[in-house]
């Protein structure tokens, strides 16, 4: 090879090498942000003063329905089935029942599995809302306050008479009018605070049924933003086409008055009470007992709705396969396919919220 030829080859090689270097440098420059940037610290979602999560959505359950099975044992079974520990443990009491019970305390003070207690209390049991508002059940309120102050310092959710619409007697002097519920609620919360109960987070849990939302008295149920911390909803959908409330997660959120007028429940809540976090305090997908159908679509519809509805900060499943809810199997494991779909929902990181 001649000297000139070698020179040309050498020059060409240098040019090619230079081109490669430029391409490599350009590629490196393009990739630099990904390789050199410090990874963002993973944000931890935690609950605040009113148990509102800083991010994500609280996940909970009332397992075993209204059967005689121990609620703590049923929740543990449900957690094992679903693949996730509940961050909310939902229980129910009435009248002079003594609670939190030892099992409720144990379940919500377990350092390995932090849970918040969500307790529904029908304080007017055996009486009327009007009588509670007049102070006739102050002994009952004060006894509860004393127990909380001496044995339960943890923050907890307190629902007074969930689904009040279903208990309204719209007759003057009945003591169970919608305005009586509001007065009962206000009196109870005010007295608990006066007795030094500072760890109760108050939830007003509506039924949100079309029939009740159409009643002229429905608006009178609300006792005031100053005594309500969260607004709740108890609502369900059927997985069987043609049966009552057939639909998906959006349908239980968007029910409106049977007149067809006004806003759907979720839109009503965020429009009228924009400062209040929303809890779906009971929800579930059901079919008739003994007639299992695929609930997958219902479970798969949850996450898209949570993404579109930032007001929702907690969802609490009500699980039962017995006739304590009429001819409704609301269990997550009525079929293997249904359980698999629910476990996929439960595994989503949106529910990774730490009870602080």
Distance CA 176, CA 172 (A): 9
The residues near 188 (Cβ < 8 Å, ≥ 6 apart) are 123, 132, 141, 160
Could you read off the pLDDT of 22-78 as tens digits, one per residue?
Answer: 333 333 333 333 334 444 556 899 999 999 999 999 999 999 988 889 999 999 999
The SS3 call for residue 198 is coil
User: Which residues does 144 contact at the CB level (< 8 Å), separation at least 6?
Assistant: 99, 121, 192
User: What are the b/e assignments for 153-189, b being 16+ CB within 10 Å?
Assistant: eebbbbbbbbbbbebbeeeeeebbbbebbbbbbbbbb
Q: What is the pLDDT of residue 323?
A: 77
Taking 80 as the threshold, does the pLDDT of residue 330 lie above it? Answer: yes
pLDDT at 11 over 60: no
Q: Which of 123 and 5 is assigned the larger pLDDT? A: 123
Residue 15 in this model has a pLDDT that exceeds 80: no
Digit-coded pLDDT (tens) for 64-117: 988 889 999 999 999 999 999 999 999 999 999 999 999 999 999 999 999 999
Say what percent of the chain tops pLDDT 70.
88
State mean pLDDT over 232-245: 96
Q: Residue 38: which residues within 8 A CB-CB, separation 6 or more?
A: none
What pLDDT, on a 0 to 100 scale, did the predictor assign at position 43?
A: 81
Q: Considering only 28-32, 158-162, 347-351, which range has the smallest mean pLDDT?
A: 28-32
Q: How many CB atoms lie within 10 A of CB 21?
A: 10
Q: Tokens at residue 110, please?
A: 């377990």
């Amino acid at each position: 090879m001649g000297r000139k030829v070698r020179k040309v080859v050498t020059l060409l090689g240098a040019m090619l090498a230079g081109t490669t270097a430029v391409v490599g440098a350009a590629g490196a420059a393009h990739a630099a942000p990904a390789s050199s940037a410090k990874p963002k610290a993973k944000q931890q979602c935690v609950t605040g003063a009113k148990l509102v999560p800083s991010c994500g959505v609280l996940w909970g359950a009332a397992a075993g329905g209204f059967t005689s099975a121990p609620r703590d044992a049923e929740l543990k079974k449900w957690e094992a089935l679903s693949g996730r520990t509940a961050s909310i443990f939902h229980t129910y009491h009435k009248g002079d029942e003594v609670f939190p019970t030892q099992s409720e305390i144990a379940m919500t003070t377990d350092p390995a599995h932090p849970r918040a207690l969500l307790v529904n209390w029908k304080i007017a049991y055996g009486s009327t809302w009007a009588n509670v508002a007049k102070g006739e059940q102050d002994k009952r309120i004060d006894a509860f306050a004393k127990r909380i102050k001496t044995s339960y310092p943890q923050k907890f959710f307190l629902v007074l008479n969930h689904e009040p619409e279903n208990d309204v007697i719209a007759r003057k002097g009945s003591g169970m009018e919608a305005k009586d519920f509001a007065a009962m609620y206000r009196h109870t919360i005010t007295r608990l605070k006066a007795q030094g109960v500072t760890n109760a987070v108050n939830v007003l849990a509506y039924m949100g049924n079309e029939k009740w939302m159409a009643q002229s008295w429905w608006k009178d149920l609300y006792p005031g933003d100053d005594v309500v911390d969260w607004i709740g909803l108890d609502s369900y959908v059927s997985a069987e086409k043609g049966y009552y409330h057939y639909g998906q997660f959006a349908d239980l959120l968007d029910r409106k008055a049977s007149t067809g007028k006004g806003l759907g429940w979720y839109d009503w809540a965020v429009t009228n009470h924009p400062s209040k976090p929303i809890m779906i305090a009971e929800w579930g997908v059901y079919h008739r007992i003994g007639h299992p159908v695929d609930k997958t679509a219902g479970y798969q519809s949850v996450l898209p709705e949570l993404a579109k509805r930032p007001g929702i900060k907690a969802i609490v499943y009500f699980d039962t396969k017995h006739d304590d809810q009429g001819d409704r199997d609301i269990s997550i494991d009525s079929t293997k396919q249904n359980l698999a779909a629910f476990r996929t929902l439960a595994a989503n990181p949106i529910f990774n919220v730490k009870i602080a």
